[in-house]
């Protein structure tokens, strides 16, 4: 058995590690979220729990499972990404409204 390595961190992860989904639609969603293509992963590609929100991981009968609709969303490498989080606080105060 080889070492399970996270395809995103590209290193051996200490935490829980999950296999890519078999379902191709879900797999495509993952690949899109991870900025990866099908050729980047193999049958033995894994991704560690660091990339999932805690609510995406379910504990069933003492084992950890990913929700079927879980998509990795955290700590993702985005090479050349221009996407920046812009917090647009458009809070409109409507306190003094005379009707």
Which residue ranges make up the site for Zn ion (CB under 5 A)? 6, 8-9, 48, 50
Whichever of 12 and 67 has its CB closer to Zn ion, that residue is: 12
Rounded to 5°, angle at Cα 48 from 42 and 50:
145
Q: How many CA atoms lie within 13 A of 62 on its CB side?
A: 0
CB of 50 to Zn ion, least distance (A): 5
CB of 1 to Zn ion, least distance (A): 19
3-state secondary structure of 56: helix
CB of 21 to Zn ion, least distance (A): 16
């Amino acid at each position: 058995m080889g070492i399970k390595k996270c395809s995103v961190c590209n290193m051996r992860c200490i935490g829980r590690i999950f296999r890519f989904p078999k379902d191709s639609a879900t797999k495509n969603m993952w690949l899109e979220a991870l900025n990866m293509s099908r050729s980047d992963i193999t049958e033995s590609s894994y991704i560690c729990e660091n990339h999932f929100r805690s609510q995406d991981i379910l504990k069933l009968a003492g084992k950890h499972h990913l929700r079927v609709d879980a998509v990795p969303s955290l700590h993702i490498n985005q090479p050349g990404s221009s996407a920046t989080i812009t917090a647009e606080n458009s809070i409109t105060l409507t306190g003094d409204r005379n009707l």
